[in-house]
Structures are given as structure tokens and as C-alpha cells.
């Protein structure tokens, strides 16, 4: 492996390493307004939530590497102490990207990107109508991480109101992630679309205590065919099933252990864990 310290590379190179390795990242599409009423709209992928009580969102408008200047978003938030964080679905990803153009101060990126301003209820900054989830926020704190180009500014916001499109809600009124069609930021020009085959379901080991890979039979642990992910699926059970408990399951039996492991791997990839166990224990 290549090993180096931050002092071994330029700021631009470090920026590239971080953006490519720490991905995909959710996108905060942040709308703000300054004291004179000028609206700004810009995306930030150094973004996440950091608690639900109180509900806190955090994003970072970094200082520009070239010129060492700060973003209009940061200037506006420091003036008005508020913003709206809009979520980015696939349907507006190109418009979102266009809004990241470094327009002069006073230029409204809503107009440039063709997106629609929607009045907020508790803050002055407008929302993005086309965004399925919008968070009206009040500023708690800005933590300046440095004075040089590339330094972050951690904007810590408290959510004071949430707007969610009813089309993305489930029967219980909760947001259903599969309906959002969200975009994630990668490095360079790359994005990832969180929908279709890109989504996968993994059962959380919360309500039960998985036995762990170390407790699997040796011939399974030492398999040269089964992957770590497949072994983890097998190990996410409270006890190894008995042959008797699997009698009701019909699966083909292979002539060799190698072929059994190949079949078990295919079953595990389809989420058929009990079937895979029967193949491996037979």
C-alpha cells in the first residue's frame, strides 16, 4: 500500500484523496439569504446529521483552495443565522450541479438553475420546491477549522421545521428511503444514485445476538469460496440450526463440498440464509 502523511502532498491532492475515498456522501443543497435580501443556493457534500434531540445538521463550506476565499453560503449564514437544507433526488441532480457554478455575489442560483423558490415558514431563506425533504434550520455555531485554502468551516444547525413530500411517506407517515431516489457525491465528476439495484437490505443485529463468524463450523470459516459478507450472513443468527429444523426446506444437494459452497454462496446472495445453511450442513 502507498503510505504518506498530509505534509507529503499538496492541499489539492489531499482534497482529491479525501473526496474519492470518503464516499458516497449525502448532499446538503443549502439555500440562504443575506441581509440585503440576496438569495443563494449551493450544494455541499461534507454533510450529515449529528443527533435527533435536538435535531442537528452539520455541513462544511470549505475555503477555496484557489484564492483562499469563503463561500457566499457561509457569509450569508453568519449574517442571518439561518438556512434551509434541501435534499437532492435524481430529478434535480444536473440543476444542483449547475448551481455550484461560482457566480458573483448577488446572483440568484435558483434562477440560474431553473429551480423554484418556495417560501419557508420559520426562516427567511426560501426552500427548493423540487426537493422532497426540506429542513428549515437555525444556526447554532460555526467552527472555523483553519485560515488556509481548503480549510473547513463546520456549520452546526438545529432543525426547527421539516417539510416532506407526502409521496415519499409510508403508511405510518415516515419517510421511506426507497422512494427518495437520492443522489450521493463521489470524487471528481462521479455521483451515485441510491435506487434500484444500488439499494440493498441488511438485517440489523439489534434484536438478536449473532453467534459471530468465529463460531461457524471450521469447514465453513476456512472456505475458499464463501466471502466475508456471506460468512457474516450465516453468522447473524442466535444458534446454528439443526438438520431437523431444516427438513422442510428443499434444496438440491451437490456431489462435492466445493459445489455445495458455490451453491450456498448463490443462495446467500439472494438472501436465502436457511437454504444456504441446509446446503452447508448436509
Instruction: Tell me the per-residue pLDDT of 238-252, one tens digit each, with 9 for 90 and over.
Output: 999 998 998 898 888
Question: Which residues, in sequence order, are CB contacts of 80 under 8 Å at separation 6+?
Answer: 32, 33, 34, 35, 124, 125
The percent of the chain in helix, strand and coil, each rounded to the nearest 5, is 30, 25, 45
- Mean pLDDT for 192-218 is 87
Whole-number percent of the chain with pLDDT over 90: 78
Q: CA angle, corner 82, sides to 77 and 83, nearest 5?
A: 85
Whole-number percent of the chain with pLDDT over 70: 99
The closest alpha carbon to 87, from 185, 160, 9, 173, belongs to 185
Confidence of residue 151 (pLDDT cuts 50, 70, 90): confident
Are the C-beta atoms of residues 133 and 180 closer than 8 Å to each other? Answer: yes
Are the C-beta atoms of residues 264 and 252 closer than 8 Å to each other? Answer: no
Instruction: Tell me the per-residue pLDDT of 108-126, one tens digit each, with 9 for 90 and over.
Output: 999 999 999 999 999 999 9
| Beta strand 82-87 pairing with 55-59 | unpaired
- CA atoms of 81 and 142, how far apart (whole Å): 10
pLDDT averaged over every residue in the chain: 93
Amino acid at each position: 500500500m502507498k503510505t504518506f502523511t498530509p505534509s507529503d502532498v499538496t492541499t489539492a491532492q489531499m482534497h482529491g484523496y479525501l473526496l474519492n475515498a470518503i464516499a458516497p456522501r449525502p448532499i446538503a443543497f443549502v439555500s440562504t439569504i443575506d441581509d440585503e435580501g440576496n438569495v443563494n443556493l449551493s450544494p455541499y457534500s461534507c454533510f450529515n446529521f449529528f443527533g435527533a434531540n435536538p435535531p442537528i445538521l452539520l455541513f462544511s463550506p470549505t475555503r477555496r483552495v484557489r484564492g483562499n476565499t469563503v463561500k457566499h453560503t457561509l457569509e450569508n449564514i453568519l449574517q442571518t443565522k439561518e438556512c434551509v437544507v434541501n435534499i437532492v433526488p435524481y430529478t434535480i441532480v444536473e440543476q444542483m450541479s449547475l448551481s455550484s457554478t461560482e457566480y458573483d455575489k448577488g446572483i440568484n442560483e435558483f434562477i440560474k438553475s431553473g429551480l423554484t423558490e418556495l417560501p419557508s415558514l420559520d426562516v427567511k431563506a426560501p426552500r427548493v420546491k423540487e426537493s422532497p425533504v426540506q429542513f428549515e434550520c437555525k444556526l447554532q455555531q460555526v467552527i472555523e477549522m483553519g485560515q488556509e485554502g481548503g480549510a473547513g468551516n463546520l456549520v452546526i444547525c438545529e432543525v426547527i421545521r421539516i417539510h416532506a413530500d407526502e409521496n415519499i411517506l409510508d403508511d405510518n407517515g415516515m419517510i421511506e428511503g426507497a422512494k427518495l431516489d437520492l443522489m450521493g457525491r463521489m470524487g471528481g465528476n462521479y455521483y451515485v444514485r441510491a435506487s434500484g439495484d444500488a439499494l440493498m437490505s441488511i438485517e440489523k443485529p439489534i434484536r438478536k445476538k449473532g453467534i459471530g463468524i468465529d463460531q461457524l463450523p471450521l469447514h465453513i470459516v476456512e472456505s475458499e469460496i464463501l466471502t466475508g459478507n456471506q460468512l457474516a450472513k450465516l453468522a447473524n443468527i442466535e444458534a446454528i440450526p439443526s438438520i431437523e429444523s431444516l427438513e422442510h426446506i428443499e434444496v438440491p444437494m451437490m456431489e462435492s463440498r466445493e459445489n455445495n459452497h458455490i451453491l450456498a454462496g448463490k443462495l446467500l446472495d439472494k438472501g436465502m440464509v436457511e437454504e444456504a445453511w441446509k446446503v452447508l450442513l448436509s
